[in-house]
């Protein structure tokens, strides 16, 4: 049977949207005649990103609960009832054979309705600390695909399958030569390259750190590829030079990673999964402003394996130069970090997740 129907739901951040699109792409590769529908939250980035990837999407009037008393929280019960009602109409009309949730509040009502109608449902949890929506859905779904060990703290052990997180296909088969990558960025092949990744919007605290340390990096003979984010490009583009390349966004990540010798990055689940495949020495500076502080927990999972270094934002002033110098001056430390982070790579995650969906389709 090739004319399956799939609903994928997840959003709010790229970390939820990208895995859903990757899973849809693999399902479409296996079932070219299948129908796909995404369900997201109105006014969130999935309403733009998903159509750009070539898929239809419908939006629910839903937001997450705020951590303090606000008018938005007072509206939450009304939004939830509205979203459950609309999710019911979507499921009745579309009649999916399977539903996939990748986290974010929009997936809650949709999978609640679908599982209640005995439609096979799969969760994909990207982080080492499970999100609230996925935790609420854990008893209603058939399978939960995870990227970290120890997830039975949050989910029933018999439902967990360790698959890893979907990553971009061009990274899995990355064949870019370093020399080509350096030419792409117009960098000197005789000097090491530091790559700074702050996410598509940018990381204010990381940008402030890099600006402050520019002379220090110069003293080490480093060249920089600095992705500062579209919110900050106007503040930092003045530092563009032969040895400092400032970007709001980096499209060619195969070239970007191939050029890098050492990386400073946030610790979102997608970034961590990519960096395991890339296998370069990495210093994570987790964002402290995310739900359940999951970036810190993601980074800690790698630090525990001697696969990366983590610096909290609160420690940057006192510790950054000391920690960075230790890594830069020790080839042995760089090799250890590189070898250990590669061991954690799971490049076939998307295929494994879709394998689990196929098993459910065969038994439905």
Using DSSP, state whether 248 is helix, strand or coil.
coil
Query: Span 227-236, mean pLDDT?
Result: 94
Token pair for 83: 């979203």
pLDDT tens-digit profile of 323-358? 999 999 999 999 999 999 999 999 999 999 999 999
**79 vs 60 pLDDT, higher one:** 60
Query: Span 229-251, mean pLDDT?
Result: 94
Q: Three-state SS across 76-118?
A: HHHHHHHHHHHHHHHHHHHCCCEEEECCCCCHHHHHHHHHHCC
Return the CATH architecture of domain 5-167+347-363: 3-Layer(aba) Sandwich (3.40)
Q: Return the pLDDT at 45.
A: 81
- Among 198-202, 250-254, 313-317, the range scoring the smallest mean pLDDT is 198-202
Is residue 168 marked as binding? yes
Token pair for 86: 């609309």
The answer to whether the beta carbons of residues 129 and 108 sit under 8 Å apart is no
Residue 62 in this model has a pLDDT that exceeds 80: no
Q: Phi/psi of residue 252, each to 5°?
A: -95, 80
CA distance 36 to 54: 10
pLDDT tens-digit profile of 64-122? 554 455 556 656 667 777 778 899 999 999 999 999 999 888 899 999 999 999 999 99
Let me know if the fold of 5-167+347-363 is the same as that of 170-343: yes
The alpha carbon of 302 is separated from its chain's Cα centroid by a whole number of angstroms, namely 15
Q: Phi/psi of residue 144, each to 5°?
A: -130, 115
Is residue 126 marked as binding? no
State the CB neighbour count (10 A cutoff) for residue 299.
28
Is residue 127 marked as binding? yes
Is residue 330 marked as binding? no
pTM here? 0.86
Q: How many CA atoms lie within 13 A of 275 on its CB side?
A: 31
Is residue 223 marked as binding? no
Is residue 13 marked as binding? yes
State the CB neighbour count (10 A cutoff) for residue 333.
15
Using DSSP, state whether 324 is helix, strand or coil.
helix
Residue 42 in this model has a pLDDT that exceeds 60: yes
Q: Return the pLDDT at 84.
A: 80
User: What are the residue boundaries of the structural domains of the chain, listed by start?
Assistant: 5-167+347-363, 170-343
Q: State percent of the chain over pLDDT 90.
A: 74
pLDDT tens-digit profile of 255-288? 999 999 999 999 999 899 999 999 999 999 999 9
Q: Three-state SS across 192-222?
A: CEEEEECCCCCCHHHHHHHHHCHHHHHHCCC
The answer to whether the beta carbons of residues 60 and 113 sit under 8 Å apart is no
Is residue 319 marked as binding? no
The answer to whether the beta carbons of residues 39 and 103 sit under 8 Å apart is no
Give 98's strand partners. Answer: 6
pLDDT tens-digit profile of 315-327? 999 999 999 999 9
The alpha carbon of 88 is separated from its chain's Cα centroid by a whole number of angstroms, namely 29
CA atoms 295, 301, 303, 307: torsion sign? negative
**141 vs 80 pLDDT, higher one:** 141
Residue with tokens 């010798």: 261
CA distance 251 to 231: 17
Tell me the average pLDDT of the chain.
Answer: 91
- The CATH code that applies to domain 170-343 is 3.40.50.2000
- Among 3-7, 104-108, 208-212, the range scoring the smallest mean pLDDT is 104-108
CA distance 261 to 281: 7
């Amino acid at each position: 049977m090739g004319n399956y129907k799939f609903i994928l739901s997840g959003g709010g951040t790229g970390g939820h949207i990208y895995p859903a699109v990757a899973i849809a792409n693999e399902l479409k590769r296996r079932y070219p005649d299948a129908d796909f529908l995404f369900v997201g939250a109105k006014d969130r980035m999935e309403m733009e990103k998903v159509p750009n990837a070539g898929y239809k999407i419908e939006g629910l009037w839903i937001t997450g609960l705020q951590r303090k008393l606000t008018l938005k929280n007072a509206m939450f019960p009304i939004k939830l009832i509205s979203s459950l009602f609309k999710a019911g109409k979507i499921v009745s009309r579309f009649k999916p054979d399977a539903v996939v949730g990748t986290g974010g509040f929009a997936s809650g009502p949709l999978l609640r309705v679908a599982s209640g109608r005995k439609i096979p449902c799969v969760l994909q949890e990207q982080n080492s600390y499970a999100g609230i929506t996925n935790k609420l859905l854990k008893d209603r779904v058939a399978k939960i695909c995870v990227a970290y060990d120890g997830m039975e703290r949050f989910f029933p052990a018999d439902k967990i399958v360790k698959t890893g997180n979907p990553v971009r296909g061009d990274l899995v088969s990355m064949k870019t030569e370093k020399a080509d990558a350096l030419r792409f960025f117009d960098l000197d092949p005789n000097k090491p390259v530091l790559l700074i990744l702050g996410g598509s919007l940018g990381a204010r605290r990381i940008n402030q750190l890099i600006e402050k340390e520019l002379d220090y990096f110069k003293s080490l003979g480093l060249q920089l590829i600095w992705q500062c984010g579209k919110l900050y490009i106007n503040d930092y583009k003045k530092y563009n030079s032969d040895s400092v390349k400032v970007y709001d966004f980096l499209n060619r990540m195969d070239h970007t990673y191939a050029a890098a010798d050492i990386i400073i990055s946030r610790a979102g689940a997608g970034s961590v999964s990519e960096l395991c495949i890339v296998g370069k020495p990495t210093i994570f500076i987790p964002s402290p402003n995310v739900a359940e502080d999951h970036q810190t927990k993601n980074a800690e999972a790698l630090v525990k394996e001697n696969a990366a270094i983590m610096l909290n934002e609160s420690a940057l002033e006192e510790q950054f130069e000391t920690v960075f110098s230790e890594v830069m001056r020790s080839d042995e430390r760089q090799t250890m970090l590189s070898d250990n982070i590669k061991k954690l790579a799971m490049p076939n995650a998307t295929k494994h997740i879709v394998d689990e969906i196929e098993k459910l389709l065969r038994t439905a």
